[in-house]
Structure 1
Amino acid sequence: MNVKLKVLSVGALFFIGQAAWAQKIERDTIPKENEIDEIVVTGYQKKNKDDVTSAITVVSGKSLSNFSSSTMGTNALQGKAAGVNIAALNGKPGGGSAINIRGLGNITTSLGASNPLFVIDGFIVGNDQRAQDVFNSINPSDYENISVLKDAAAAAIYGSQGANGVIVLTTKSGKSGRPVITFSSRIGFSEKIKDINFRMMNAAEKISYEKQMFALGIPGYNQWTDQATQSALELDHNWQKDILRTSSIESYQVGIRGGNEKSKYTISLGYDSDNGIVRNIHAYKRYTGRMKYEANPTDRLSFGASMGVNYTSSQEIRDRNNTQNPFRAMYDYNSFEPVYMPNGSYNPTRQGFPILEALKNNPENINSLIIDGNIFAQYKIVEGLNFKTQLGGYYNNIRRTSKTLRGSFLDTILGINGSVVEQNQNRFRYTTSNTLNYVKSFGNHNFDLLALVEYTEFRNDYISGTGRNFSSPSLSELGNASIPFAIAGYDELYRTFSYGAFLTYDFSKKYILTASIRQDKDSRFGRNNVSSEPFWSLSGAWNVTNEDFFKSGKVVSLLKLRASIGTRGYNNIGLNLNNFLMSGGVYGTFPTIVANSNYGNPDLKWEVTKSQNYGAEFGFLRNRVRGTIDYFIDQKKDFILSVPNFSSEGGGYSTNINAGDLSNKGLEISLSADVIKTSNFNWSIRANTSIMSYKLKKLRDGEMERIYGINILREGYEPFSFFLVKSAGINPANGNEIYYTKDGGTTEIYNSNDAVLIDNKSPLPKFFGGFGTTLSYKSFDLQADFTYKSGNYTYNYMARNMLNYNNGTTSNMRSDAANYWMTPGQTNVLPRPNNPTNAPGGITGVQITDRFLQDASFIRLRNVSIGYTIDKKTIGESLPINKIRFSLTGQNLATWTKFEGDPEVSVGSGENQTGAGQTFINGAFALYSYPAVKTYLFGIELEF
Structure 2
Amino acid sequence: MRNIFLLLFTFSAFQLAAQQTVTGKVTDTEGEPLIGVNILVVGANVGGITDFDGNYSIDVPEEGKALLFSYVGYAQREISINNRSVVNVELSSDAEALDEVVVIGYGTKKKRDVIGSVTTVKSESITKLKTTSFVDGLQGRASGVQVTSNSGVPGAPSTVKIRGVNSLSIGTDPLWIVDGMPIYSGSSLGATNGATSQDPMSMINPNDIESIQVLKDAAATAIYGSRGSNGVIIITTKTGKQGRGNISLDYSAGITELSRKPEEVGFTNTEEWFSLVETARRNSNSGQETPFDPNSILNLFRDDPIARLSREEALAVNTNWFGQILGQGNYQDLNLSGNMGFEKANMYLSFGYRNDNSVLTNNGLTRYSVRANLQFNPVNNLQVEARLNFNHTKNDRVKQQVGGALGNNSGGNSAGFGNANRNALPWYPIYNSDDPSGYWNPMSGNNLVAAIDRSLLVDEVSSYRGLGGLALEYSIPFVKGFSIRTEGSFDLIQANTLNWVTATLRENGSFASDESRLRRSINYNLYAKYNREFGRHALSITAGTESQEDNQELRLMEGQNLTGTYKEIGNPQDLLTLSGGLNYEEYLRAFFGRADYKFKDRYFLGVSFRRDGSSKFNEDYRWGFFPALSLGWVVSDEPFWGDNFLSSVKLRGSYGQTGNKNIPSNRFVTTYANNPDWRYGPSEVIQEGTRITNIGVPTLTWETTSSYDFGIDYGLWDGRVSGSVAYYFQDVTDLLLSSPLATSAGLEGNRIWGNIGDMQNWGLEVELSSVNVRRSNFSWRTDFNITTNKNKVVRLTSDLDRSGRGLINGNQMSRTGGRLWTYYMAEDAGVDPERGVNMIWEIDIDHFEATGETVKTGRRIPATLNNLQNHRIIHQDKTSVPTVFGGFNNTFTYKGFDLSVFFSFSAGDYLYDYEEQRTTDVQYGQVVLRKSLIGNTWTPDNPNARYPELRWQGAYPWSWDPEVENPESPTGKGDWVEASGNYKNETVNWTKYLYKADFIRLRNLQAGYTFPKQLVQRWKIQNLRVYVTGTNLWVYSPHYDGWDPESGGGVLPPLEIWSGGLSVTF
Aligned residue type for 2:340:
G
| 2:379 is the counterpart of 1:286 | no
Q: Which residue of 2 aligns with 1:272?
A: 354
Per-residue deviation at 1:777?
0.9
Gaps of 5+ in 2: 1-36, 41-48, 56-68, 190-197, 294-308, 405-413, 679-684, 845-855, 962-979
Q: Which residue of 2 aligns with 1:496?
A: 588
Per-residue deviation at 1:684?
0.8
Is the Cα contact below 8 Å between 1:235 and 1:336 reproduced in 2? yes
Q: Give the 5 Å matches for 1:913-932.
A: 926-932=1048-1054
| Rounded Cα–Cα distance in structure 2 between residues aligned with 1:312 and 1:434 | 33
Aligned residue type for 1:896:
Y
Alignment counterpart, residue 747 of structure 1, candidates 861, 864, 867: 861
Gaps of 5+ in 1: 907-925
Q: Deviations over 1:532-587 (max 9, x none)?
A: 1x21111111112322333533x112111111111111122222222222334333
Per-residue deviation at 1:32?
5.2
Q: Which residue of 2 aligns with 1:574?
A: 664
Aligned residue type for 1:365:
E
Is the Cα contact below 8 Å between 2:267 and 2:928 reproduced in 1? no
Q: More deviation in 894-903 or 332-341? A: 332-341
Q: Give the 5 Å matches for 1:644-723.
A: 644-645=740-741, 649-652=745-748, 653-704=750-801, 705-723=806-824
Partner secondary structure for residue 830 of structure 1: coil
Higher CA-based Rg: 2
Is the Cα contact below 8 Å between 1:439 and 1:446 reproduced in 2? yes
| 2:473 is the counterpart of 1:378 | yes
Per-residue deviation at 1:646?
6.8
Aligned residue type for 1:718:
R
| Rounded Cα–Cα distance in structure 2 between residues aligned with 1:4 and 1:38 | 21
Q: More deviation in 155-164 or 187-196? A: 187-196
Q: Deviations over 1:390-414 (max 9, x none)?
A: 1111111111111112x4232xx32
Per-residue deviation at 1:299?
3.8
| Rounded Cα–Cα distance in structure 1 between residues aligned with 2:536 and 2:881 | 47
Q: Which residue of 1 aligns with 2:203?
A: 137
| 2:84 is the counterpart of 1:38 | no
Is the Cα contact below 8 Å between 1:706 and 1:712 reproduced in 2? yes
Q: Which residue of 1 aligns with 2:461?
A: 366
Is the Cα contact below 8 Å between 2:279 and 2:950 reproduced in 1? no
Is the Cα contact below 8 Å between 1:210 and 1:221 reproduced in 2? no
Aligned residue type for 1:562:
R
Aligned residue type for 1:712:
M
Q: Give the 5 Å matches for 1:862-873.
A: 862-873=1003-1014
| 2:1033 is the counterpart of 1:893 | yes
Is the Cα contact below 8 Å between 1:188 and 1:938 reproduced in 2? yes
Is the Cα contact below 8 Å between 1:22 and 1:34 reproduced in 2? no
| Rounded Cα–Cα distance in structure 2 between residues aligned with 1:152 and 1:595 | 43
Q: Which residue of 2 aligns with 1:615?
A: 711
| Rounded Cα–Cα distance in structure 2 between residues aligned with 1:608 and 1:302 | 37
Q: Which residue of 2 aligns with 1:909?
A: none
| Rounded Cα–Cα distance in structure 2 between residues aligned with 1:903 and 1:454 | 44
Partner secondary structure for residue 409 of structure 1: coil
Partner secondary structure for residue 946 of structure 2: coil
Is the Cα contact below 8 Å between 2:759 and 2:794 reproduced in 1? yes
Cα pair distance change 1:129/1:161, threshold 3 Å: farther
Partner secondary structure for residue 815 of structure 1: helix
Q: Which residue of 2 aligns with 1:177?
A: 243
Alignment counterpart, residue 206 of structure 1, candidates 250, 262, 273: 273
Alignment counterpart, residue 828 of structure 2, candidates 707, 715, 727: 727
Q: Which residue of 2 aligns with 1:166?
A: 232
Partner secondary structure for residue 854 of structure 1: strand
Q: Which residue of 1 aligns with 2:22?
A: none
Partner secondary structure for residue 190 of structure 1: strand
Q: Which residue of 2 aligns with 1:910?
A: none
Per-residue deviation at 1:859?
0.6
| 2:1001 is the counterpart of 1:860 | yes
Aligned residue type for 2:663:
I
Q: Deviations over 1:142-183 (max 9, x none)?
A: 111000000000000111110111000011110112321011
Question: How many pairs are equivalent?
Answer: 905
Q: Which residue of 1 aligns with 2:552?
A: 460
Is the Cα contact below 8 Å between 2:222 and 2:228 reproduced in 1? yes
Aligned residue type for 2:470:
I
TM-score norm. by structure 2 comes to 0.80
Is the Cα contact below 8 Å between 1:126 and 1:161 reproduced in 2? no
Aligned residue type for 1:574:
P
| 2:255 is the counterpart of 1:255 | no
Is the Cα contact below 8 Å between 1:40 and 1:46 reproduced in 2? yes
| 2:577 is the counterpart of 1:486 | yes
Q: Which residue of 1 aligns with 2:28?
A: none
Alignment counterpart, residue 880 of structure 2, candidates 746, 763, 768: 763
Cα pair distance change 1:515/1:571, threshold 3 Å: same
Q: Which residue of 1 aligns with 2:117?
A: 55
Q: Which residue of 2 aligns with 1:78?
A: 139
Is the Cα contact below 8 Å between 2:891 and 2:901 reproduced in 1? yes
Alignment counterpart, residue 520 of structure 1, candidates 605, 612, 631: 612
Alignment counterpart, residue 302 of structure 1, candidates 383, 386, 390: 383
Cα pair distance change 1:11/1:213, threshold 3 Å: farther
Cα pair distance change 1:828/1:813, threshold 3 Å: closer
Cα pair distance change 1:465/1:549, threshold 3 Å: same
Per-residue deviation at 1:764?
0.4
| Rounded Cα–Cα distance in structure 2 between residues aligned with 1:521 and 1:149 | 22
Aligned residue type for 1:813:
R
Q: Give the 5 Å matches for 1:724-873.
A: 724-743=825-844, 744-745=856-857, 746-748=860-862, 749-751=864-866, 752-806=869-923, 808-816=925-933, 818-823=935-940, 826-834=943-951, 835-836=955-956, 838=959, 842-845=981-984, 847=986, 848-873=989-1014
Per-residue deviation at 1:206?
2.4
Partner secondary structure for residue 479 of structure 1: coil
Q: Deviations over 1:107-153 (max 9, x none)?
A: 125xxx11111111112225754799554422110111000000000
Is the Cα contact below 8 Å between 1:607 and 1:640 reproduced in 2? yes
Q: More deviation in 149-158 or 330-339? A: 330-339
Is the Cα contact below 8 Å between 2:155 and 2:199 reproduced in 1? no
Aligned residue type for 1:392:
S
| Rounded Cα–Cα distance in structure 1 between residues aligned with 2:687 and 2:223 | 49
Q: Deviations over 1:79-119 (max 9, x none)?
A: 0000001112322101222111001031125xxx1111111
Is the Cα contact below 8 Å between 1:449 and 1:502 reproduced in 2? yes
Partner secondary structure for residue 528 of structure 1: helix
Greater relative contact order (Cα 8 A, min sep 6): structure 1 or 2?
1
| Rounded Cα–Cα distance in structure 2 between residues aligned with 1:661 and 1:776 | 50
| 2:598 is the counterpart of 1:506 | yes
| Rounded Cα–Cα distance in structure 2 between residues aligned with 1:569 and 1:126 | 18
Cα pair distance change 1:14/1:194, threshold 3 Å: farther
Is the Cα contact below 8 Å between 1:289 and 1:308 reproduced in 2? yes
Is the Cα contact below 8 Å between 2:445 and 2:505 reproduced in 1? no
Is the Cα contact below 8 Å between 2:400 and 2:419 reproduced in 1? no
Partner secondary structure for residue 370 of structure 2: strand
Q: Which residue of 1 aligns with 2:166?
A: 105
| Rounded Cα–Cα distance in structure 1 between residues aligned with 2:468 and 2:783 | 36
Q: Deviations over 1:353-372 (max 9, x none)?
A: 31211222222111111101
Q: Which residue of 1 aligns with 2:50?
A: 8
| Rounded Cα–Cα distance in structure 2 between residues aligned with 1:767 and 1:85 | 10
Cα pair distance change 1:591/1:336, threshold 3 Å: closer
Q: Which residue of 2 aligns with 1:398?
A: 495
Aligned residue type for 1:223:
P
Q: Deviations over 1:410-431 (max 9, x none)?
A: 2xx32x2x22111111110111
Partner secondary structure for residue 812 of structure 1: coil
Partner secondary structure for residue 208 of structure 1: helix
Q: Which residue of 1 aligns with 2:299?
A: none
Is the Cα contact below 8 Å between 2:1044 and 2:1053 reproduced in 1? no
The Cα RMSD (Å) is 3.1
Cα pair distance change 1:512/1:826, threshold 3 Å: same
